[in-house]
Amino acid sequence: MWRAGVALLFLASAGGTIYLCAEMRGGMQMPGGWTMSMAWMRMPGESWFVAAASFMAMWTAMMVAMMLPSLMSTLSRNSERRLTVGAGYFLVWATLGGAVYPLGIILTTSEMRWSALARAVPMATGAVFVLAGCVQLTPWKARLLGRCREASGCGRSAWQHGLRLGMNCILCCVSFMTILLVTGVMNLTAMAIVTTAITIERLVPSPQRAARAIGVIVIAAGILSIWSAVPRHRFHGRSLLRPALKLRQAAALQMLSLGVRPRS
C-alpha cells in the first residue's frame, strides 16, 4: 500500500517539476554563447518574495522527484517510521534550496554586470565537471555513500535519522548537485541524468565502483566541455588584437612612405 503512495508522490513531484520548469522556460543569452536560466530572474512586476517562493516550490518538487527513487530501499527497511524519516530527509533538501537561491542570485547578477565573467562561464563549467568527477573518485565519497545506504537509525529517533540521512546525502551528492546547478537548474535532461546516476550508485551491489565509473565519465565530459569552450576564447582574443594589428600596419606603411624602414 505504501509503495502505491510513494509512486503517486513521485508522479506528482515529477509532474510538478515539469510544469514549473515549463512556466519558467526560456532564458537570457549571455556573452560566451550560453543561456542564463530564468530560475534566477524575476518576472516583470514580480516581487522577490514571490520569485523566491516559486523557486522553492520548483526546488522541493524537483528534489522529491530526483531523490525518491534512491530513498525507496531505506524507506522499505523503516516500515514503522518511514513517513517521519522521509519528512526529515526532504526538509534538509528543502533547506538547501533556501541557501542555494540567494547564492544563485548573487552569481547571476555578477555575470550580468561583468561581461568578462560571463564569457568565462563555459570554461568554468567544464572545470566544475572535472572537479566534480574527481570528487567521485575519493575515499571521502565512498564513506558518505555508505552512510547514505544506511537503513537503521542506530538508536536515533525517526526524525533525527531522517535529518542525518538528508545531511549525509547532500554531502554525498555535492558533485551531482553542483553539476545540475551549472548546467541549468531547470534543465530536465540534466535532472534525468543526475537522478539516474544517484539511483545507480545507491542501489547497485558495488556502489564504490559505480561512483568511480560515473566520476570518470564526468571528468571526460568536463574535458570535452573545456575543449569546446577554448575556440570561443581564442576567437575573442583575436578580435581584441585585430585593432592593434591594424594600427601597427598603418604605422609601418606611413614610415615606409617617409623612407624610414620599420624595425621588425
Parse the chain into domains and list their residue ranges: 2-257
| Of 32-41, 104-113, 127-136, the least confident | 32-41
Alpha-carbon span 132 to 105, nearest angstrom? 22
Alpha-carbon span 207 to 136, nearest angstrom? 11
With CA atoms as reference, report the closest residue to 6 among 67, 58, 88, 48. 67
Residue 177: Cβ-neighbour burial (10 angstroms; 0-12, 13-18, 19+)? buried
The predicted pLDDT at position 239 comes to 46
Angle at 30 between CA 25 and CA 32, to 5 degrees: 130
Q: Which position has the higher pLDDT, 134 or 24?
A: 134
Residues 124-171: tens digit of each pLDDT? 999 999 999 999 999 999 999 888 876 665 667 888 888 999 999 999
With CA atoms as reference, report the closest residue to 30 among 125, 127, 103. 125
The predicted pLDDT at position 2 comes to 77
pLDDT band at 241 (very low <50, low <70, confident <90, very high): very low
C-alpha cell at 180: 545540475
Query: Which whole number is the average pLDDT over 238-243?
Result: 49
pLDDT band at 246 (very low <50, low <70, confident <90, very high): low
The predicted pLDDT at position 184 comes to 81
Say what angle helices 139-148 and 121-136 make with each other, to 10 degrees. 70
